[in-house]
Amino acid sequence: MASPKFQSSKGTYDILPDYHLYFSFIKKVVRHRCREAGFRRISTPIFENVDVFTHSIGDTSDIVEKEMFVFESKSGKKLALRPENTAGVVRAYLEHGMHQEPQPVELYYIEPFFRYNRPQKGRFRQFHQFGFEVIGEADPAIDAQIIYLSHKINQDLGIADRLTLQLNTIGCLDCRKQYKEDLVNYYAGKERSLCEDCQNRLHRNPLRLLDCKEEDCQILASMAPKFETVIDAECKEHYTLVKEYLDELKVPYVENSHLVRGLDYYTRTVFEFWSNKEGAQNATGGGGRYDELVEMFGGQPTPAIGYAAGVERTIDYMKEAGIRPPNKDRIHVFIAQLGPIAKKRSLSLLSELREHGINVVGSAGKDSIKSQMRVADRLKAKYSLILGQIEVQEGTIILRNMDKGSQEVVQMDDIVKTVVERIGDNSLKKKSLWEE
Ligand SMILES: [Zn+2]
Ligand SMILES: [Zn+2]
């Protein structure tokens, strides 16, 4: 074939049916775990006023500096494709008066996001995240429950033992103010040993220097003053309780004093799930408290915490672990037919079988029975029904077991009942779409 005229845009990809099996499975697990814990689903618009993001994520983060897709509407409004979800959710929380509902408000989502970054393995310009937010509760038990929920989802997906939970506290704004000063003092005179990014960040966001991946920066970071020396009593107590609750919930973690997360709005608890593999830096997901964000958006002081995980990265880990999600889409029955009357009858048979919860595909063309059976093979159908001119005249139909290669003649009037019995799967019991 000549090369196609168009290709997907750089950093984007098509979710083809086979890849969608993973998507559907992840969605199912997330939805199940979140609903079990009382979360409700939310979707905010894909684009927002750019201020929603610049105001929250912080001007010094990579996301705002380099990675946002910003564009102008025809009326000259500056808009941005959302690079992450927390800002939009907090905006919605306030806009719709959710602060007046019983607190905390627990929300979850599975959505696409956009970042103009350098595409590489597991990193795309349009990517997907699932995650959750709990807004309106400061108790460390909530931190532990959010982490537990993320861990549980990793377990359900079969990737928990490939990941290590990294845990840290970055304190409240007060402790952090002190710590930032200490860091700036520590780095004074050492600027020339820092990478360019770190030199730029030093006075704007010195915490970020701690998690730089450059070797020289890491050496300096390892000797930098420790946060333990400035943390206040309340923040320390909060962190201690989070750890105790995680122990109680049997969630394993590693304390990592250099974990700061890239976004300005985090406070106190921060956490990420890292690969166990040596040298691999790809976190599947992470989160933390953002106790100041609601107020920054004009609301009352409202504590909150959230978590987000990359769907594509999660799928990479699942594939690495050799996990293939169950495919419920198996074709149970293929109907082959020959001649105009048989074709008509096969249409009503299709719909009757589907009403009984059977996945059935019918041949539409005028091909020979033999070539129709090749299609049945390719679809890996369990059974085929063959309706030719003779069968139509005799009021019968051929039922062929595709796995065994055996076949029998069945009365047309009995065929639906027979097929339902043969498929013999309880999951077939036709459920109303309105049932829970
Ligand atoms: Zn504090
Ligand atoms: Zn650096």
Going along 170-312, which residue ranges are E strands?
254-255, 267-275, 285-289, 304-310
Residue 39 burial (C-beta neighbours within 10 Å; 0-12, 13-18, 19+): buried
Q: Quick one: which ligand is closest to 269's CA?
A: 1
Answer for the pair 275, 265: CB distance below 8 angstroms, yes or no. Answer: no
Q: How far apart are the CA of 314 and the centre of ligand 1, in A?
A: 33
Q: Which ligand is nearest to the CA of 221?
A: 2
| CA proximity to 267, closest of 129, 138, 181 | 138
Distance 83 CA to ligand 2 centre (A): 23
Q: Which ligand ends up closest to the CA of 214?
A: 2
Distance from the alpha carbon of residue 292 to the mean position of ligand 2, in angstroms: 27
| Residue 56 alpha carbon to ligand 2 centre in Å | 24
- The Å distance, Cα 21 to ligand 1 centre, comes to 44
Kindly give the distance from the C-alpha atom of residue 230 to the centroid of ligand 1, in angstroms, as a whole number: 9
183 alpha carbon – ligand 2 mean position (Å): 14
Two tokens, residue 417:
């009942």
**In angstroms, what is the span from residue 170 Cα to ligand 1's centroid?**
8
Q: What number of CA atoms fall less than 13 Å from residue 198's CA on the CB side?
A: 24
How far is residue 399's CA from residue 377's CA, in Å, rounded to a whole number?
15
Domains, the chain, with CATH or none: 17-172+232-320 (3.30.930.10), 333-428 (3.40.50.800)
Per-residue confidence of the chain (436 residues) as pLDDT tens digits? 678 899 999 999 999 999 999 999 999 999 999 999 999 999 999 999 999 998 877 666 666 667 899 999 999 999 999 999 999 999 999 999 999 999 999 999 999 999 998 888 878 999 999 999 999 999 999 999 999 999 999 999 999 999 999 999 999 989 988 999 999 999 999 999 999 989 988 888 888 898 888 999 999 999 999 998 899 999 999 999 999 999 999 999 999 998 988 777 789 999 999 999 876 667 899 999 999 999 999 999 999 999 999 999 999 999 999 999 988 778 999 999 999 999 999 999 999 999 998 999 998 877 899 999 999 999 999 999 999 999 999 999 999 999 899 999 999 999 999 999 988 765 555 556 565 4
Residues with C-beta atoms within 5 A of ion ligand 1: 171-172, 175, 232, 235
Report pTM: 0.88
